[in-house]
Amino acid sequence: MSTAGQVIRCKAAVAWESGKPLSIEEVEVAPPQKDEVRIKILFTSLCHTDVYFWDAKGQNPLFPRILGHEAGGIVESVGEGVTDLKPGDHVLPIFTGECKECPHCLSEESNMCDLLRINTDRVGMINDGKSRFSINGKPIYHFLGTSTFSEYTVVHVGQVAKINPHAPLDKVCVLSCGMSTGFGATVNVAKPKKGQSVAIFGLGAVGLAAAEGARVSGASRIIGIDLNPSRFEQAKKFGVTDFVNPKDYNKPVQEVIVEMTGGGVDRSVECTGSIQAMISAFECVHDGWGVAVLVGVPNKDDAFKTHPVNLLNEKTLKGTFFGNYKPRSDIPAVVEKYMNKELELDKFITHTVPFSEINKAFELMLAGEGLRCVIRMDT
């Protein structure tokens, strides 16, 4: 019995207002329109960005909304004009896209697609601005073009990575956001050479993915910097060799790291969003060849201040978005790295809950427990 072309009624976790627990509702999911695909979500995981927009303190409060953007599923049906995906394909929906036609997509250096780059305020589909979700005829807003906290969702084809059908979706779903962001920041942007030292600021899921990138690259020393010492034990599994808690010192942490390393680290990756950590990450790299990469998202009024002589002394400051991966072109190969055991993912997944208990995932993240909580949709 094909559901293609029909409205699908299914369960979704709806955020009705900021900071209130999600509510499991029956929603109607319209068929995909031009350049869209409808996906049956099998596994989704909670990322800090979902919590940030659910809480909506520093954001435009846009409700009711179906959050979620880290997920894996199977294509149920495709809209007009979709040629590279078909029903049954295994896919990862991704919060940013790749139209394959704009100057960014045609550039080998960029993944910041003009059409589909992340837009946190967009609440409908690009094609017609409308939502594909409704309850009793009233629209429910989309989130990041993915809205994966639903048994079915509709996504623009440019935001869908087709992956190896043998890859376990309950593991590789975490590559659709956080793990790729951190891992790619190290391997694609910082690019440490074998035997070099790397400092990682912030040992949450993204920071540990950056550490995993350093481990895979053959770094000899990986220094983890975090204000929470309880994170240090877990970080050893990700190759972190040294730990620094800035609270233990009465001088700036960059000075501590420069002393520890006899002149500074070769590479640093900042995964906190704290402006002070960003400055420390830059100032702790070695002159002549050091590279610092910023990953964390700052507050809107932040300003980066450093003495220009740091740049004249041949330290490099870079930024990255989604680990510099193009979603459709590059993410399938990252999944293959996992399949070939070149990259470990299982250690990032510390909890799993059924869809009916999705609010438990929020509670765990708000309590700072674990790394990734995977939500099983089949219950």
- Tens digits of per-residue pLDDT, 168-185? 999 999 999 999 999 999
Distance, CA of 178 to CA of 153 (rounded, Å): 20
Is 49 among the residues known to form the active site?
Answer: yes
pLDDT tens figures, 301-357: 899 999 999 999 999 999 999 999 999 999 999 999 999 999 999 999 999 999 999
C-beta separation of 131 from 143 below 8 A: no
Of 177, 271, 284, 373, the active-site residue reads: 177
pTM of the model: 0.96
Res. 57 pLDDT band, cuts 50 70 90: confident
**Residue 142 designated active-site:** no
Catalytic-residue membership of 105: yes
Q: How far apart are CA 62 and CA 289, in angstroms?
A: 44
Kindly report, residue by residue over 260-312, the tens digit of the pLDDT: 999 999 999 999 999 999 999 999 999 999 999 999 989 888 999 999 999 99
Among residues 99, 173, 271, 284, which one is catalytic? 99
Contacts of 285 (CB under 8 A, 6+ apart): 199, 264, 265, 266, 267, 268, 291, 292, 315, 316
In this predicted structure, what is the pLDDT of residue 379? 59
Catalytic residue at 104? no
Residue in 98, 104, 113, 186 annotated catalytic: 113
Catalytic residue check, 113:
yes
Query: What's the average model confidence in pLDDT over 214-242?
Result: 97
